[in-house]
Amino acid sequence: MRIAGGDAKGQRLKGAVSSGTRATTERVRAAIFNILDPEQYKGGRVLDLFAGSGSLGIEALSHGAGSADFVEWDRRQSAVITSNLESTGFSSQGHVHRLDVLQALQTLPGRYDLVLLDPPYKMGGLDSLLEKIASQPGLIVDDGVVIAGHSKREDLKETYGPLRLTSHRRYGDNVIDFFVYAQDSDIAQPPETRKNLDEGPNSGKDGDLSW
């Protein structure tokens, strides 16, 4: 694995060492940070849940995020994240927390500009987790972004409390949903719907859901 872009582009990363850990592909990481407006996270705080190898959070640091908290319960994978932070020169900006994700949501200080999660597909319960993320006081700044990776066989809702879906992308079996946290519900207009996109003539091709 390599960092897909930013200041550390091309640097190698260690991948999964524990069964059940699925690293976010370089292609998907590149797509995420091509879509994101850098002003939404540059110099800001990032939370990488189910961090695995830390590739998503490290990608954010490479693209200019100020700091990143990595949450990974598996001891061996936590060590991989630490190693990747050291090898890429981001040790001072990255903090690894060996916690259960629900524990982390309750104990980490919050005020994140960007929350990244790409849990194992077999885990399930992503709907419930997004509800918890949306309802956690002070976790996300206003206009902060939550990015959720999941299988194309799992559908997420377009709203979770103050979280509003703004983009839905599919890359093969991988789906990436982008949500913006808007307490005042300024984003009242729903995004172009998945129905409109999925019914297009090219539906089913990789990356066809490009907004």
pLDDT digits (tens, 9 = 90+) for 18-39: 766 777 889 999 999 999 999 9
At residue 110, the pLDDT reads: 87
Residue 18 lies in a domain: no
Residue 9 lies in a domain: no
Task: Let me know: does 144 contact 113? Beta carbons within 8 Å.
Answer: yes
The CATH code of the domain that includes 143 is: 3.40.50.150
For 154-199, the pLDDT digits (tens) are: 889 999 999 999 999 998 888 999 999 997 654 444 444 343 333 3
pTM of the shown model:
0.86
Please give the structure tokens belonging to residue 144: 């902060």
At residue 201, the pLDDT reads: 31
Residue 105 lies in a domain: yes
Q: What is the dihedral of CA 171, 175, 176, 182, to 10 degrees?
A: 140
Count up the domains in the chain and report the number.
1
Residue 140 lies in a domain: yes
Task: Give one DSSP letter per residue of 4-51, joined into a string.
Answer: -SSTTTT-B-----STT--PPPHHHHHHHHHHS-GGGTBTSEEEEES-
At residue 36, the pLDDT reads: 96
Residue 78 lies in a domain: yes
Residue 8 lies in a domain: no
Residue 5 lies in a domain: no
At residue 24, the pLDDT reads: 85
- In percent, the amount of the chain with pLDDT more than 90 equals 73
What distance in Å separates the CA atoms of residue 71 and residue 50, rounded to the nearest whole number?
6
Percent of residues in the chain assigned helix, strand, coil, to nearest 5: 30, 25, 45
Q: Which domain holds residue 114?
A: 26-198
Task: Compute how many other C-beta atoms are within 10 angstroms of the C-beta atom of residue 43.
Answer: 11
For 108-131, the pLDDT digits (tens) are: 988 999 999 999 877 778 999 999
Residue 98 lies in a domain: yes
Task: Let me know: does 181 contact 141? Beta carbons within 8 Å.
Answer: yes
- Rounded mean pLDDT of 75-87? 97
Bridge-based pairing of strands 112-117 and 45-49 is parallel
